[in-house]
Structure 1
Amino acid sequence: MTSPASQSDEILESSRRALRNVRMPPIGTKSMALRRAHFWGKVSKAALAVGAVLVGAGIVGAIIDGIGFWGVMITGLVGAAAAYVLLRYPQMPMPTTESLRQTDLGTLAGKTEIWLESQRPALPAPAVTVMQDIGIRLDQLAPQLQTLDDNDPAAREVRKLVGEHLPELINGYKRIPDSLKRKEHGGKTPEQQLLDGLKLIDREIETMTGQISRGELDKLAVRGRYLELKYDTDAAQ
């Protein structure tokens, strides 16, 4: 049974991780681009809504020969309310492990970065550092993905790496009780296994990026098989 002191330590550690995530910058430029696009999309909708309210008020005023003081006040309140609602909603949809498997190649890198950023509070500091490196790799991979068709074997291997292996690695670590994350199992602690797995994925993204840029798409299938065998070996330890 977990002691009160141990529970308090876990709560404090969780709070520190959450605070660290708020303070940390995005891990890549593609996630920033998606957030900017979502924000400016809402700004455009809000501007159109306010414009429609003003045009509507102008038409009513022309019909009834002016809307008067209260008409102006109501128009202002309706315009402000419309702008507030459209700037606040809808919130940007957060990627999930399921949606990453189906995300189009054009936004896969950015949405993977957003998903990784949301995982930072649950991860140890060394793993977060490696995730920053993965963000850089994803930025480098994104232009290469534009050259692929969704049905290309290379596209499937990339999607498998960042849409399956990466989330499975992190989610598997998160399912382990905090009290066991620093205890050795098979010669390594879960934290070290997570760190090693993230480093492996970081290297694989770099390798895939180079292979796609050089047109060596047939080699990606070999790399994908290697990664599957690597994970099977680690799971058996």
Structure 2
Amino acid sequence: MSEVDKVRLSATSAIERSRERRRPIGTKSMALRRQHLARKIGRIFLAGGAVLIAAAIFGLVIQPLGFAGVMAVTLLLVAVAFLFGKWPPFPEPRQADLPKADLKQLAGRTEIWLEAQRPALPAPARQLVDGIGVQLDLLAPQLQTLDTSSPAAANIRKLVGEDLPELVAGYQRIPAGLRKEAHAGRTPDETLVGGLTMLEREIGEAARNLAAGELDKLATRERYLQLKYQGLEGEDLPGTD
């Protein structure tokens, strides 16, 4: 292989890794990124509006801006857009942040953390991470109303915020050259895939159990309404034969 081919292959690999790093594994991580972008755009408009108001007051009270003043205001608006477009950066979660994350954002922030780790994982594990993203999307709506002090919330926080990240981080702490060597009958790659498979199933079960609780409440409410209103329909109204 020529040097040119090596450089091209290296560049292609870098591009693919970059694409993998940016590719979302779930809708909740995308929602958090969109919220952050919306806040940035809001700051840009507020700061730009303040600049324009200040420029208008200066032109009316002190002296007309003139060509030089208009150019200065334009450059200032560009600087404001650049500054607030870059700052603040998106707060990428660290592993240590996940157990303490707001329960309502836990699924989305875990997805973001997994997206950053995904390129360093073997291909079977990357597919499982994608599946875990789907399960986290199913779980996220239940977390919006779940009592943060309940045992279920504590179990989910441990499952999603502790056990899952620690499995992935523990794999990454193993030197790359040792990840395919068997230890206690299994390679680290196989152990990672087995653990992710189990966690994907457990997260899906947690989502379904919480949803089942809501379905039970809905069915109970429907039965109550049936007894209340359909029971009344069977009774004679006062003053009728």
Task: Report if TM-score (shorter chain) is over 0.5.
Answer: yes
| Contact preservation (8 Å) 1:21, 1:120 | no
Query: Which residue of the partner structure matches residue 43 of structure 1?
Result: 41
| AA partner of residue 41 (structure 2) | V
Q: CA deviation at 1:39?
A: 0.7
In 2, the alpha carbon distance for the partners of 1:150 and 1:190 equals 35
In 2, the alpha carbon distance for the partners of 1:188 and 1:195 equals 11
| Contact preservation (8 Å) 1:105, 1:145 | yes
| AA partner of residue 121 (structure 2) | L
Find out whether 1:23 has 2:15 as its counterpart.
no
| Contact preservation (8 Å) 1:127, 1:194 | yes
| AA partner of residue 18 (structure 2) | V
Query: Which residue of the partner structure matches residue 77 of structure 1?
Result: 75
In 2, the alpha carbon distance for the partners of 1:120 and 1:209 equals 23
Instruction: Provide, for residues 83-121 of structure 1, a one-character-per-residue CA deviation record: whole Å limited to 9, x for no partner.
Output: 110011111011111111111111111100000000012
Find out whether 1:179 has 2:177 as its counterpart.
yes
Over 4 Å off, 4+ runs: none
Secondary structure (helix, strand or coil) at the match of 1:93 reads coil
Q: CA deviation at 1:21?
A: 3.9
Aligned pair count reads 203
Which residue of the other structure, out of 64, 68, 79, is the alignment partner of 1:66? 64
Query: Which residue of the partner structure matches residue 146 of structure 1?
Result: 144
User: Rg: which structure is higher?
Assistant: 2
| AA partner of residue 19 (structure 2) | R
In 1, the alpha carbon distance for the partners of 2:207 and 2:160 equals 13
Find out whether 1:96 has 2:94 as its counterpart.
yes
- Which stretch of structure 1 is more off in the superposition, 169-178 or 61-70? 61-70
Query: Which residue of the partner structure matches residue 111 of structure 1?
Result: 109
RMSD between aligned residues: 1.7
Unmatched segments (≥5 aa) in structure 2:
1-8, 215-241
In 2, the alpha carbon distance for the partners of 1:147 and 1:106 equals 8
Instruction: Provide, for residues 158-212 of structure 1, a one-character-per-residue CA deviation record: whole Å limited to 9, x for no partner.
Output: 0101111011101110111111100111111100000010010000001101111
In 2, the alpha carbon distance for the partners of 1:41 and 1:213 equals 32
Q: CA deviation at 1:125?
A: 1.1
| Contact preservation (8 Å) 1:57, 1:75 | yes
Query: Which residue of the partner structure matches residue 6 of structure 2?
Result: none
Unmatched segments (≥5 aa) in structure 1:
1-11, 217-237
Secondary structure (helix, strand or coil) at the match of 1:215 reads helix
Secondary structure (helix, strand or coil) at the match of 1:101 reads helix
| Contact preservation (8 Å) 1:97, 1:167 | yes
1:100–1:160 CA distance, 2 compared to 1 (3 A): same
In 2, the alpha carbon distance for the partners of 1:186 and 1:20 equals 34
In 2, the alpha carbon distance for the partners of 1:21 and 1:158 equals 31
Counting aligned pairs with the same residue, the percent is: 50
Q: CA deviation at 1:19?
A: 4.1
In 2, the alpha carbon distance for the partners of 1:205 and 1:130 equals 12
Instruction: Output the TM-score relative to the length of structure 1.
Output: 0.82
In 2, the alpha carbon distance for the partners of 1:59 and 1:31 equals 42
1:163-174 superposed matches below 5 A: 163-174=161-172
| AA partner of residue 162 (structure 1) | V
